[in-house]
Amino acid sequence: MMVIKSGTETIQSIGLPPIRNGTYYVERWRDKAFPNMSQLKFLNFDFVRAHIHINIPSTLKVLHWEFCPLETLSLVDQRYELVEIKISWSNIVQLWHGFKFLEKLKHLDLSCSDLEQTPDLSGVPVLETLDLSCCDCLTLIHPSLICHKSLLVLNLSECTSLETFPGKLEMSSLKELNLCDCKSFMSPPEFGECMT
């Protein structure tokens, strides 16, 4: 396994150029490991289909990884500076395990067909947009979502396996709820008194 070491303590941004000829970055990045990069702020691995070994540093603010091959993200620290996560069209099954404190996260795009459940969002107090569209395998909504107080936009369109919410919606800031083509949804959601 090749490990990238040189200058890692000062790297603040990693990004790849657009794909060419419709091919993915697989061979070029296969079996590379990134040690902890203590100053990393921006990471774009869009279209990298290789399993890259990286512990996401707590300093990271933006993570883009469309077509991510991983089933879960390696979030091992107690607190994170993340503001935006976009990992659409990925193999993510569960974004993270247990409680994670991401006090600055505002935008989360999890439109992944393999996603089975939403994460615990009780440690994500300022989340404004959550995109769960086209999550064909999504069957479980974590209870923390239905009482989230900062969420403005919730997109659940084409979540064809989702049948219900785990209770009455108490999302006082919600402005847009998209349930288009949720073919298995058993009944309309119930709205609490705070839903104006």
3-state SS, one letter per residue, for the chain:
CEECCCCHHHCCEEECCCCCCCCCECCCCCCEEECCCCCCCEEECCCECCCCEECCCCCCCEEECCCCCCCCCCCCCCECCCCEEECCCCCCCCCCCCCCECCCCCEEECCCCCCCECCCCCCCCCCCEEECCCCCCCCECCHHHHCCCCCCEEECCCCCCCCCCCCCECCCCCCEEECCCCCCCCCCCCECCCCC
Domain that holds residue 29: 1-196
Q: Is the pLDDT of residue 187 over 70?
A: yes
195: pLDDT confidence band, cut at 50, 70 and 90?
A: confident
Query: What is the reported pTM?
Result: 0.85
Question: For the segment 18-60, what is each residue's pLDDT rounded down to a tens digit?
Answer: 555 555 554 455 444 455 566 789 988 888 777 776 778 888 8
Mean pLDDT of all residues in 149-168: 96
If one counts the domains in the chain, the total is 1
Residues 104-146: pLDDT tens digits? 999 999 999 999 999 999 999 999 999 999 999 999 999 999 9
